[in-house]
Amino acid sequence: MSSASSNASSPAPSPPPPVVSKSKIRFCPACGSPTKLAIPDGDEKMRAICSSCGRVHYENPKMVVGCLVEHDNKVLLCRRKIEPAYGLWTLPAGYLEVGESAAEGASRETLEEACADVEILSPFAQLDIPLIGQSYIIFRARLKTPNFSPGPESLECALFALDDIPFDSLAFSSIIVTLRMYLEDVKSGNIKFHYCTINKRVGTGTSDLRSFDIDNHLSV
Ligand SMILES: [Zn+2]
């Protein structure tokens, strides 16, 4: 009855979207009963459906927000004290909370991870990572006071000159992409707003951080 294949009638040449065949929602948040995977009537994707009350539980991408903090021609990076990517460098960033704006969330994450009080200057990049259901919004920001120190999730925080950014020790593809774009913009003297999609290169493992493609790059 429930086939995972869909739309076999349209032979589009583009690669198929990733099939999310598993759900993290194993128990119904409403009544606590186990869920089962099925395609609801009128839908075309597998969903977690409660085996008892029948509610359909949708999983949607999460938004990650963060700051690219500029100070004296340097940028502020934090070395992660938590998994994943323990010990690697990142921009201060994290999941947006319900009740806050993206800019508020980015400021909060910077305060939490780098104890840095920042003023948001402008949006710098939106990066979608469809495979893992994340969308990043990174803001340019500046320190209100020249103070920062590692928060509980950071081993250390430091300002890096652009030529000294530790590209071999960055935590996530999103951070690599953001900092590459920023470097290019600074060197060209024109800092823009960027949008792109980050896709895992076909045939590479999830741990291979640098095997990704940047698609649909738009900048203004
Ligand atoms: Zn239920």
Dump pLDDT digits (tens) for 144-195. 999 999 999 999 999 999 999 999 999 999 999 999 999 999 999 999 999 9
pLDDT of residue 17: 47
CA of 38 to the centre of ligand 1 (A): 14
Distance CA 112, CA 108 (A): 6
User: What is the Å distance from ligand 1's center to 196 Cα?
Assistant: 37
* pLDDT for res 199: 94
CA of 208 to the centre of ligand 1 (A): 38
The pLDDT tens digits of the residues spanning 37-96 come to 999 999 999 999 999 999 999 999 999 999 999 999 999 999 999 999 999 999 999 999
Ligand 1 centroid to residue 40 C-alpha, Å: 15
CA of 90 to the centre of ligand 1 (A): 39
The CA-CA-CA angle for residues 101, 103, 105, to 5°, reads 70
Q: Which residues are near ligand 1, the ion (C-beta closer than 5 Å)? A: 28, 30-31, 33, 50, 52-53
Domain covering 25-59 assigned CATH 3.40.50.720 in the classification: no
pLDDT band at 133 (very low <50, low <70, confident <90, very high): very high
For the stretch 194-212, pLDDT in tens is 999 999 887 666 556 678 9
32 alpha carbon – ligand 1 mean position (Å): 6
What's the 132 CA to ligand 1 centre distance in angstroms?
Answer: 26
Distance from the alpha carbon of residue 12 to the mean position of ligand 1, in angstroms:
37
CATH 3.90.79.10 at 62-219, yes or no: yes
- Say how many Å lie between the CA of residue 27 and the centre of ligand 1: 8
pLDDT of residue 86: 96
CATH 3.90.79.10 in the chain: give the residue spans: 62-219
